[in-house]
Amino acid sequence: MPITVRLLTGEDQPLLERMYDDFVPHKAAMGLPSSNPAQRRAWLADLRKGINLVAFVDGRLAGHLALMPGPEIAELACFVHQDFRRRGVALALAGQAVKEAEAAGMSAIWVLIDSSNAAAREGLRKFGFRAAWEDLQEAQYVHPLRKAGTQKAEIQKAGAQRAGAQ
């Protein structure tokens, strides 16, 4: 099962919308994507401000990853269609995301997951992400991209930004 990953194009947008129309989120997906079509379209439009990758398997759109760059650290959101989960699609998307984030000059990638999502935790650790913090509901994982000297402050800054947004 070859997986092809590329940057999202305008031609891919309708395919992406159709993937999400048929998407069954994990119960630990933190409410994303919305089941409301209008809210989902607005969410996808907002994600277009970042770097968007799509994965295809046998010509079918199988997954989507968005990197939302901050000043130094990019937030990652990854979704794999239920027909393609546990087949390496998220890993292929994450591998390309690291390359894109490095090319954009990011120092790290972070992702917020539901603390109960053991599959996401396992996959993130295998890929090189490390837990930055965790509570009973959420956990933040970080993948460093540059020298570790500046990352601790940047990770703390990202955590402070998250806390300020609540």
| pLDDT tens per residue, range 129-163 | 999 998 888 899 999 986 444 445 555 556 655 55
Instruction: Compute how many other C-beta atoms are within 10 angstroms of the C-beta atom of residue 156.
Output: 12
Residue 36 pLDDT: 77
Q: What is the mean pLDDT of the chain?
A: 82
Tell the burial category of 29 from Cβ atoms under 10 Å away from its Cβ (0-12, 13-18, 19+): middle
Phi, psi of 84 (to 5 degrees): -125, 10
Residue 16 pLDDT: 85
CA distances from 134 to 41, 114, 121, 130, 138 (A): 30, 9, 11, 11, 6
Lookup result for tokens 């570790």: 148
Tell the burial category of 94 from Cβ atoms under 10 Å away from its Cβ (0-12, 13-18, 19+): buried
Q: What would the CATH number be for the domain defined by 3-165?
A: 3.40.630.30
In this predicted model, what pLDDT tens digit does every residue of 25-68 receive, in sequence order? Answer: 655 455 567 777 788 788 787 788 889 999 999 999 999 999 99
Cα 142 to its chain centre, rounded Å, is 12
In this predicted model, what pLDDT tens digit does every residue of 77-132 receive, in sequence order? Answer: 998 988 898 888 998 999 999 999 999 889 999 999 888 888 888 888 888 899 99
Residue 159 pLDDT: 60
Residue 140, strand partner residues: 112, 133
**Rounded to whole angstroms, how far apart are CA atoms 81 and 24?**
7
